[in-house]
Amino acid sequence: MVAYTVKDAAERLGKAVVKSDAGFYTDALGGLPGPYSKYFDKQIGIEKFLYMLKDETNRKARIEHCWAYCEPGQEPKVFIGGSDGTIAVEESGKSSRWVDKFFIPDGETQTISAIRDENYEEANKYWGDAKQQLVNYLLNKEK
């Protein structure tokens, strides 16, 4: 989705465009909400989302954060980061996106939001390095 929108914007504007997008993919829901997590939050919120999964044993999920870059007349370059984890039974933590309040990255015992409450920088790593990949691409492109 980010590739389509960044290419469309570059063509319409006649300039290079950078765009960010994120997704949340659950095994139990066949990949939903995917890139539509913002709409899931708006339409049903955390409480109803977790209720949908209350009896689900497969709580595996993945978060992804993408950055895309495109120049007019070119194909977009997409950079993807993220991490695998599980969906908590209940939300925890005060800060961040709705996904962060119930997503527990593999190797952790707390949600991203709870981790962020204690250490902001530590929590950011779970969304991956897509932004750094984009920066590296642009810096090397200029050489």
Q: How many residues does the chain have?
A: 143
What's 39-71 look like in SS3?
HHHHHCHHHHHHHHCCCCCCCEEEEEEEEEEEC
Active site residue 129: no
CA dist., res. 81 & res. 131, Å (int): 8
Tokens of 106: 């593999």
Q: Which of 8, 21, 55, 106 is catalytic?
A: 21
- Asked if 91 contacts 111 with a C-beta cutoff of 8 angstroms, the reply is yes
Instruction: State which amino acid sits at residue 42.
Output: K
Active-site residue list: 21
